Chain A
Amino acid sequence: MLVFKIKKVIDEAPDVKSYVIEHKLNAKPGQFVMVWMPGVDEVPMSIGLQTDTEFTLSIAKAGDCTALMHEKLSVGDKIGIRGPFGKPFTFEGKKNIVLVGGGCGTPPMLNLAQVATAKGIKTTVLLGGRTSEHLLFEKTFKELGCEIKVATDDGSKGHKGYVTDLLKKELEKGEVDCVYTCGPELMMVTVARLAQDFNIPSQVSLERFMKCGFGICGQCCIDGTGLRVCKDGPVFDGEIALKHQEFGKYKRDSAGLMIGLDGCALDKNL
């Protein structure tokens, strides 16, 4: 367990805050850390921007623990970090990539864009959000040299509709050689299927309830193969993810019971 003081807190969007920590983490894009808030919980969190001296955790209010983090954590407070863990995104040999970020799944896309643009890979970012206020890191992606296209549910900015509509248009151009996505699972299912339709590889980043974070407890295993999201993932080839019966359908709670992706009881007919 590494313990750090929070150096800076940034309000990014409604219900999303970034916490900057002074430490060279050396994580690869797509890897995650377990973040410990003493007396509350320890949760897996993707890694946002990284430099030689700092890393950023951009945390969306998504449950009891993250709500408490937003409420209680400020500059100078200590948090515990285990990791980085998991298999990262890979981009060997890629020249023209598209990143699809939806809501709170956008931070790992930021780190991926950082590394990809530094390698000279043409990077197009498709951002989705409920309103223009919910679009994350547009400016940062631009500063990194990415081309940006946005979609909002209410049409307050960019395309009115799904971010996956924008992906279809990009894929129709026929120049893309890999699609990367992190965000709501149903969005990722659509992204993986679209990429498959266009015969283009995709990589998706899954999220499941985790305990150990390093592949021994079995809490995050996915039905179909029993692969571990924390160790064999969180990044999976889209084609492989699609072969898992639970992808886009259900997940498990702390007891191991199957629950819906929204955290509610599962429809027994699934």
Chain B
Amino acid sequence: MNVSVKFCGIDFPNPTVLASGYLGVTGASLANCINNGAGGVTGKTLFMEPRPGHPNPTVLTFPGGLINAVGLCGEGIKNGIHEFKKFREMAPDAPLIGSIAGKNLKELIEVAEIMDTYPVDMIELNLSCPNVDDEMGRPIACDPLMTRDAIKAVRKVVKKPISAKLSPNVQNIGIVAKNAENEGADAITAVNTMGPGMLIDIKMRRPILSNKVGGVSGMALHPIAVRCVYDIYKAVQIPIIATGGIMNGKDAIEMILAGGSLLGIGCAITANDLNCFTMITDKIREYMKEEGFTDISEMVGLAHEI
């Protein structure tokens, strides 16, 4: 059984990829995920300048998964080079995706130009964080035309493969994905968190997150993410990093059948810690054996053949 994936020319030994925002603050932490079985990793989203993010509480669990308003903290693209170098020392050949964003299109282009020179295999454009609306307005990925313009502009300055990370909070995600493809995106990462949502503590009688609202992920997001991946697979030819509430092997297989080639993993860490990467890959192998598949690529998008 072959579970390795060739994705935009990059060799992933297995389909699990640490999703952006999880354990991506330092290069050593990303390498630790590789050592624990991740097929690849995505760094934390970087802007031009360092950002402290929102004050705590920023990350909370609830019975449906996670809600977070970390607020895109990060050390800034220029300081970030140390972490990518550290990662490369510790994991020379492992696939590394650099995630970037900008306060506006001009900044996004500048950050993209810098990231293109870094030792990353692919660049993910985070067009879809729902936690910074007050500061930056609606996410780019919530508007098909803004998405088109962003991909077009970044494509001009970036040689490395680009994946557009999309938001589930849209009317028709297929159109957004198609626009990204038309302007030269090499892949789609779907999806970012949904919402925003809110949790209120009944004894304190106030929202718990300091930002009041935050993106919802985990089990609550999963069925929505599956539908988004399904719709995107129908709309475009480029491959998909399917992300959203993959907690176990069954969820992962569901995402592959919907059309995902790689699997973004995050919330599963809360359930099985860093073993989750190996557990998910093992479960996929077991399924392939039971169902008679020899290569994982044979399974991608099979839910569409009905």
Using CB atoms and an 8 Å cutoff, list the residues of chain A in contact with chain B. Answer: 1, 3, 34, 36, 38, 40-43, 78, 80, 82, 211-219, 221-228, 231, 252-257
By the criterion CB–CB under 8 Å, are A255 and B28 in contact?
no
Give the interface segment out of B71-79, B165-173, B281-289.
B71-79
Q: How far is the CB of B290 from chain A (nearest CB, A)?
A: 31
Tell me, yes or no, whether B103 is within 8 Å of chain A by CB. Answer: no
Tell me, yes or no, whether B134 is within 8 Å of chain A by CB. Answer: no
Contact with A along B103-127 (1 / 0, CB 8 A): 0000000000000000000000000
Bound: A256/B76 CA distance, A:
9
Q: How far is the CB of A256 from chain B (nearest CB, A)?
A: 4
By the criterion CB–CB under 8 Å, are B59 and A217 in contact?
yes
A–B pairs, 18, beta carbons within 8 Å:
A1-B201, A3-B204, A78-B203, A80-B57, A212-B68, A214-B61, A216-B270, A217-B21, A217-B22, A219-B73, A221-B26, A223-B86, A226-B28, A226-B29, A226-B31, A231-B273, A255-B75, A256-B50
Bound: A78/B208 CA distance, A:
13
Contact with A along B1-42 (1 / 0, CB 8 A): 000000000000000000001111111111111000000000
Query: Which B residues lie within 8 Å of A221 (CB)?
Result: 23, 25-26, 28-29, 32
Using CB atoms and an 8 Å cutoff, list the residues of chain B in contact with chain A. Answer: 21-33, 44, 50-53, 55-61, 66, 68, 70, 73-76, 79, 86, 90, 201, 203-204, 206, 208, 210, 266-267, 269-270, 273
Most buried by B among A3, A222, A255: A255
By the criterion CB–CB under 8 Å, are A216 and B269 in contact?
yes
By the criterion CB–CB under 8 Å, are A80 and B51 in contact?
no
Contact of B208 among A36, A40, A211 (CB under 8 A): A36
Bound: A40/B56 CA distance, A:
8
Given contacts A211-B58, A214-B61, A255-B50, 14 further A-B contacts (CB under 8 A): A3-B203, A41-B210, A42-B56, A211-B53, A216-B267, A217-B68, A218-B26, A221-B28, A223-B26, A225-B28, A226-B23, A228-B29, A255-B73, A256-B74
Query: Which A residues lie within 8 Å of B86 (CB)?
Result: 223
Most buried by A among B26, B58, B61, B201: B26
What residue of chain B has the Cβ atom nearest to residue A3's Cβ?
A: B203
Query: Which B residues lie within 8 Å of A218 (CB)?
Result: 22-26, 29, 44
Q: How far is the CB of A14 from chain B (nearest CB, A)?
A: 27
Contact of B28 among A43, A82, A217, A224 (CB under 8 A): A224
Q: How far is the CB of B49 from chain A (nearest CB, A)?
A: 9
Contact of B56 among A34, A224, A252, A257 (CB under 8 A): A34
Q: How far is the CB of A111 from chain B (nearest CB, A)?
A: 24
Bound: A3/B60 CA distance, A:
15
Q: How far is the CB of A145 from chain B (nearest CB, A)?
A: 37
By the criterion CB–CB under 8 Å, are B270 and A214 in contact?
yes
